[in-house]
Amino acid sequence: MRVLLLAFECNPEWYSLPAVAYNYAKALANHVDELVVVTQTQNQPNIDKHGGIGNAKVVFLDVKKIVEPFEKTAFFLMGGHQKNVGWTIYRALMYPSYLYFEWIAWQRFKSELNDGYFDIIHRLTPMTPTLPSPLAAWSKVPFVLGPLNGGLKWPKQFSGEQRREREWLSSLRDTYKLLPYQKLTYKKSSSILAAFKHTIADLPASCQDKVINFPEVGIDPELFKLDEKERKEKLTVLYVGRLVPYKMPEVVIQAFARSSFLQEHQLIMVGDGAERARLEGIVKSKSLEHCIQLLGQVPHDEVGRLMRESDIFAFPSIRELGAGAVVEAMACGLACVVVDYGGCGGLIEPDRGVKVPMTDRNELIESFQRELEALVTEPDRVRKLGDEAYCHAIAHYSWEAKAKKNLEIYQWTLDKTLSKPDFWSKKKQGNISQVLENGAGTLV
């Protein structure tokens, strides 16, 4: 099977989506006869530094002259790249750039596509449902779209955070459905991968028979793995994520501030962003330096080490689409405490973590305080939740497991007489000893 993979964003050294796309493509290359990854030249230095993308052939397209002006405008309106806010603005302004990228890709591969050299075209990134893929209409080769992730509404009780995120365009988001090529993209796609219920519900009713529930997040079991955890009196609560309003990092700090009991343990916060200075001020004003550390942004391998050495993962994000950090924490055997909304709500179940209801800010702080206090008094429960989380993460979200699932999707795309892949209804992941025996990335 020969696959042409469109990966506009694909970079092993950039956090979030670009790193996800790189690892996704690298794993997928081991399961098809030929994988050609098409991406931008701006990704080339880091991809070359990592020795390419596994067994894939990589083609770099120079679209800088079109992409760069739109990126600069977007970051200006967002208040600067380092603030990590206003991503709806960025997506909206990248529409012309992405269409240009696909046009150049079409010109580069038009002959091979028309001659039937490729069996599948797969648009991997961007993963937002708001950017169409005209290649789905231009080429007759079966087209796979996604995994897509988007359409999660802002909780009304957090309008203040929405303003601080510079999400001015959120109320106009649905206008993307009027963009050129939007309807054709969904009509012409043979298979559509979509992450979690919120994305599936956002897609047109006419294409639901082609939609497969397939989250984009994945983990490297060599980096995020289960180490033997020593029993200890002082537990470590960990937060990993951008320090931006919608991730609500202050909730965990305030939970510690209100609880002398939690202050007997420690909170480590990893990440950077617009909220960092304010959070450091709260820690200092409440004299919490003895139990709370803000480390800033650290390398990915250091994140893995911190997760392996911690006990509980506290993640109060109120609008999390994919929640990749939660999957990584699960793979390290952490008991996760999350808000029951979006990606987090789809990842965690009572046997492998704790979900608190979506409420207002003060009630979230109370909920996190209550659940964290309960967990630190029950180390056996923490361990049990962590073990179940590890089993689920390795069985479903290791890159090897995801690549195998993706191959099933390709086979169904080419032969619709096969049963439509469904990875969630009756899968059993086994217990921790079985998962460890079978090895990471093996579905059991």
Q: Is residue 182 part of a domain?
A: yes
pLDDT at 443 over 70: no
pLDDT at 179: 79
Overall average pLDDT of the 378-391 stretch: 96
Report the range out of 60-69, 229-238, 308-317, 435-444 with the highest average pLDDT.
Answer: 308-317
SS3 at position 251: helix
- Residue 74, pLDDT score: 62
Binned at pLDDT 50, 70 and 90, residue 312 comes out as very high
Q: Is 442 among the domain residues?
A: no
Assess whether pLDDT exceeds 60 at residue 293: yes
Specify the pTM: 0.87
305 and 184 share one domain: no
Rg for the chain, CA atoms, rounded: 22
Q: Would you say 113 and 136 are in contact if contact means Cβ atoms under 8 Å apart?
A: no
Lowest-confidence region among 75-79, 318-322, 419-423, 435-439: 435-439
Residues 105 and 98 sit within 8 Å (Cβ to Cβ):
no
Residues 241 and 206 in one domain: no
In a domain, 119, yes or no: yes
Looking at the domain assignment, is residue 224 inside a domain? no
Please report, for the domain that includes residue 92, its CATH number.
3.40.50.2000
Query: Which of these ranges, 86-90, 280-284, 420-424, has the smallest mean pLDDT?
Result: 86-90
Q: Are residues 180 and 260 in the same domain?
A: no
User: With 50 as the cut, is the pLDDT of residue 444 above it?
Assistant: no
Assess whether 129 and 243 both reside in one domain.
no
> Residue 436 has what pLDDT?
55
Whether residues 139 and 205 share a domain: the answer is yes
Q: Provide mean pLDDT across the span 282-300.
A: 96
Output the 3-class SS for 261-328.
CHHHCEEEEECCCCCHHHHHHHHHHCCCCCCEEEEECCCHHHHHHHHHHCCEEEECCCCCCCCHHHHH
Residues 192 and 272 in one domain: no
Domain span at residue 129 reads 2-218+398-414
Residues 183 and 283 in one domain: no
Residues 279 and 314 in one domain: yes
Number of domains in the chain: 2
Residues linked to residue 338 through DSSP beta bridges, in sequence order: 315, 355
